[in-house]
Amino acid sequence: MTADNKNKLSVIYIGDLSYTPLDLIERDEDYVRTCQKLSPGGSSSAGLKVWVRSKNHFAWLRDFTEQIGCPANFIEMTARLVLAEQWNVTLPDWLTDADVLEQNLLEIDVDFQQRTHFETRFLTRFLGGTFQTDIFSASDIVPAIKTLVSNDAKEAFEKYPLLQRCLENRCNLWTKRSGETWLKEVCKRLPENSGEIWQWLSLWAGLHGYPDKLLEYVLAQEQIQFVRGIPSGQLGICLWNLRHVNRC
């Protein structure tokens, strides 16, 4: 949008989308009040956004602004565009209007103070700050898994299937950006196997210090290789965190 367009009045049609911004015209009284504000001697219209639900009000405002010589942009908002405005986010190309409407994303309250990406906002809203970062570290393993196996997370994934896709995308990003093979393996397994990783690490924490043979009775060889692939220093961090969590 050019600087000239930013300084114009914006009249935005949102129909019945679940969004209630300031300066929303829903009734004829709202329309009259807006016209008074835009009339000469009223408030400045520069950069003002007016939202309307009715096609009639949308058309009436177009005629009215032409009559009074008020430069204006007229925009018909889709569910995607309303979500971007409401959540203060940039949207991925794969997110459709149908996704937004079918999963009632416009009805979710989010902290929209700082602009960010849709996936970050969605993940942080339901899974917490661990999923806000673009880089995954060893210290994030236990908090991430603890969150993913919680009942709250399970309910969120069931209610909002898109959350699983966002998690997969975030874990793919973590995998690409990690420089350590063992951490890549953790990131690859998180979306589908977080509960299993939690179990493997818990067993490893409980049996750590006992003869290695005991681990073979409770974990498959592939699982043993996975936990033993974690460097000893990093494993110590994971084990300490697990023991601390299990005591809580």
Q: Where are the beta strands (DSSP E) in the chain?
A: 9-13, 24-25, 49-52, 72-76, 89-90, 116-117
pLDDT of residue 54: 95
The residue ranges of every structural domain in the chain are 3-77, 117-247
d(CA 243, CA 248): 9
pLDDT of residue 3: 46
pLDDT of residue 1: 47
pLDDT in tens, 92-133: 999 999 999 999 999 999 999 999 999 999 999 999 999 999
d(CA 74, CA 61): 9
Q: How far is CA 208 from CA 194, 211, 241, in A?
A: 20, 8, 14
pLDDT of residue 118: 98
pLDDT of residue 156: 97
pLDDT of residue 246: 52
Q: pTM of the prediction?
A: 0.76
d(CA 18, CA 214): 57
- Sequence-distant (6+) residues with CB within 8 A of 218 are 203, 207
Which element (helix H / strand E) includes 118?
helix 118-127
d(CA 94, CA 214): 47
Question: Which parts of the chain have pLDDT scores under 50?
Answer: 1-3, 248
Q: Any idea how long the chain is?
A: 248
pLDDT in tens, 147-175: 998 999 999 999 999 999 999 999 999 99
Of 77, 126, 80, the residue nearest 101 (C-alpha): 80
